[in-house]
Amino acid sequence: MQKIGFAEALDSIVATDGRYSREAYVFLRDALDYTTKQQKKIKGAPVRHVAGPELLQGLRQYALKEFGPMVVTVFSYWGIQKCEDIGHMVFNLISAGIFGKTEQDSIEDFKSVYDFNEAFVKPFEPEERVAPKKLPPGLPAPKLP
């Protein structure tokens, strides 16, 4: 059996499951690479299998690094709204023979690991809301351009 390449696998996946864009799968592969490199840096050990929650944490870090406050916008454009969407993409790649899995891996591993608002929006919100200063009585309000 001839092994299918990543590009060909994506063609097939996107043709049969149009929920997520091709770019989302490329990003997911890059996020997995990022996660394994981070694990190697921290643990200094050879890279082992990455479980769903570990992948989601690495993906979160990578997404914030790559897209900053635009993560939710980019993900939404790609069709990703929650952690479960990443799980569906992972299992599409497993079915295509691109990603591997163990007996313990399950789509359930991706359910509600974190809330997208908490993970991707909150880090960019100001810590305290500052009330605007009031002008002393009698001063005209500044004109905005």
Q: Residue 128: its pLDDT value, please?
A: 77
Lowest mean pLDDT across 66-70, 117-121, 133-137: 133-137
In a domain, 142, yes or no: no
Rounded CA separation 87/107 (Å) = 6
In a domain, 37, yes or no: yes
- 73, two tokens: 């916008």
With CA atoms as reference, report the closest residue to 62 among 126, 119, 143, 134: 119
pLDDT digit string (tens) for 77-111?
Answer: 999 999 999 999 999 999 998 998 999 999 999 99
In a domain, 144, yes or no: no
String of DSSP letters for 9-56: HHHHHHHH-TTS-HHHHHHHHHHHHHHHHHHHHHH-SPP-PPPHHHHH
In a domain, 129, yes or no: no
In a domain, 136, yes or no: no
Domains identified in the chain, total number = 1
Give residue 2's Cα distance to chain centre. 31
The answer on pLDDT for 1 being more than 60 is: no
In a domain, 56, yes or no: yes
Q: Do 98 and 9 meet the contact criterion of CB atoms below 8 Å apart? A: yes
At residue 131 the predicted structure's pLDDT band, cuts being 50, 70 and 90, is: confident
In a domain, 135, yes or no: no
| Domain enclosing residue 61, as ranges | 6-124
In a domain, 132, yes or no: no
Q: Rounded to the nearest 5 degrees, what angle is found at the Cα of 28, between the Cα atoms of 22 and 33?
A: 135
CA distances from 115 to 47, 66, 86 (A): 27, 19, 13
pLDDT digit string (tens) for 34-85?
Answer: 999 888 777 666 667 889 999 999 999 999 999 999 999 999 999 999 999 9
Q: Residue 45: its pLDDT value, please?
A: 64
Q: Do 95 and 105 meet the contact criterion of CB atoms below 8 Å apart? A: no
